Structure 1
């Protein structure tokens, strides 16, 4: 479990802000704001219309008359873009790969799965995870600008670098680098206080993204979930990914099932992380890469995550 941290809008460097949502677990994502005078760039919207409305109201109270001209969605998970309709007058940017994911896996399919959880035990745990969120009234609003590789944008006289590092967590992950204040918004390339989720992979690509962050001239790092950190926490997170990869490769080689491999994983050094059940998804992602045939399907693993959570809680 990560140290407690305070939610809301925080100025983490001059004219550079993080909007944090404790406790950082499923759906409780962070966002960011970069401004120069009255012109601003917003990093991500939130999971629901109401959460995004609340964030924008907080920003308006702290920084009246701000003109959010640009919005960057760091990837295609709903907790980083489903509030886009409230900033539809801004220019919204994402990687081309993220936009493809947004169009393929929007809120309709997700909410249908949650509804199915009321009757189908396979989806019951999924429904419990997101029971606190109100997904009504979401109108998918897609980025107008899609890029690949890198893109520089201006916020007044400030330069902001968008760096594509996916596929890793998802197909289209993007880092938002603010060089003048040595700040980095990572989206879900970085989770603090909880196990990450490898939706896409390969894990090697995610490790490379961590190496890139460690090589950047940055001091203050805002993760997609959890408190603001520095490079030491990125290095620790990289070590986690490396251990997951190496363990999964070895377990796969000796014929262990995904569940067996997950039960055998040594949490030493990472026992304080929340959401232990996600480890099953992460080892499953490595198996999927090694199998080369799309198995095991993440959707088949999610219903049994809670069993693995209980396994680690009783160890």
Structure 2
């Protein structure tokens, strides 16, 4: 059964959530195809996330200006829900805006500039199956055309911003998917923009952990008075989508722990765990990232992700599964 709300089609473009709230969706929600949001009131606007490159972000902003000619013509405030490029590489398109992110997200942006993925793509033709996987995942995006534009305001716990008569509550719930994950909650609209705390109908990616933080972040959304939830990837959902992601995380944690205790490697565990209940979710190769992160948590030896190795293992899994 679909986790998307039936009143919102999962199609590319701007979707009116009502009351001056909007979601911008990019199917199929896979690698790099992220969502964004716009909150409008009394001629003011706040943008939640930009996209993976400049052309995509400009296209999005154009549709927002068409829908809200006054409020969206000059974005005054931009929130990056975390540091991954598919949520911040288009920041330069919002010249003069206050750009807000969690302190840890801003630090991670410096460590992972757009040039890193541009370099991977340049090397891809020489990398065999790994190169094919990188090209398939990221070849549609123009990273060389990005001028990294960093946050101008950072915070450590919670922050609020007014948009007309609305209040946007920014709540740090990381480290989970990434170090600086935040939720953007708009009580007047009964809406929360989750960033990559939610991948709907796609396997989430646990770059950071601990997993309990992510489970707790789901509980935080379940406790909110919301009826509309805009995920970082995938269709617009409600609390059913939150529960589905939370259940996935708990299942993955518990099954990975059994195999860790049995002495299987993370890659062996990824091949062994039965994810058939999630066969309809996209990007199943991501399970190797999640299990590797969990193994680090179980052993108490959490280290920075070994990106080349993990992408190589994902390429192998993706090829095995067709």
**TM-score, with structure 1 as normaliser:** 0.95
Counterpart of 2:93 in 1: which secondary structure? helix
Q: Which residue of 1 aligns with 2:265?
A: 257
Counterpart of 2:60 in 1: which secondary structure? helix
1:116 to 123, 126, 137: 123
Matched, 1:49 2:57: no
Query: Is the alpha carbon distance of 1:296 and 1:89 closer, same or farther for their aligned partners in structure 2, counting shifts above 3 Å?
Result: closer
Deviations 1:57-89 (A, max 9, x none): 111112112232110000000000000001021
The size of the alignment, in residue pairs, is 313
Q: Which one is further off, 57-66 or 81-90?
A: 57-66
Q: Which residue of 1 aligns with 2:84?
A: 77
**Whole-Å separation in 2 of the counterparts to 1:81 and 1:293:** 26
**Whole-Å separation in 1 of the counterparts to 2:97 and 2:310:** 38
1:302 to 287, 293, 311: 311
Q: Which residue of 2 aligns with 1:238?
A: 246
The Cα shift of 1:289 comes to: 2.0
The Cα shift of 1:145 comes to: 0.3
Q: Which residue of 2 aligns with 1:129?
A: 137
Query: Is the alpha carbon distance of 1:18 and 1:293 closer, same or farther for their aligned partners in structure 2, counting shifts above 3 Å?
Result: closer
Contact 2:115 / 2:144 at 8 angstroms: preserved in 1? no
**Whole-Å separation in 1 of the counterparts to 2:304 and 2:92:** 35
Contact 2:42 / 2:165 at 8 angstroms: preserved in 1? no
**Whole-Å separation in 1 of the counterparts to 2:200 and 2:320:** 22
Let me know the Cα RMSD of the aligned residues: 1.7
Give the alignment of 1:59-208 within 5 angstroms.
Answer: 59-66=64-71, 67-121=74-128, 122-208=130-216
Q: Which residue of 2 aligns with 1:26?
A: 31
The Cα shift of 1:281 comes to: 1.0
**Whole-Å separation in 1 of the counterparts to 2:302 and 2:175:** 18
**TM-score, with structure 2 as normaliser:** 0.93
The Cα shift of 1:120 comes to: 2.7
Counterpart of 2:23 in 1: which secondary structure? strand
Query: Is the alpha carbon distance of 1:200 and 1:299 closer, same or farther for their aligned partners in structure 2, counting shifts above 3 Å?
Result: farther
**Whole-Å separation in 2 of the counterparts to 1:239 and 1:194:** 13
**Whole-Å separation in 2 of the counterparts to 1:295 and 1:289:** 12
Counterpart of 2:251 in 1: which secondary structure? helix
The Cα shift of 1:225 comes to: 0.3
Q: Which one is further off, 29-38 or 111-120?
A: 111-120
Deviations 1:223-276 (A, max 9, x none): 000010000111011000001111111111110011210111112422211111
Matched, 1:267 2:272: no
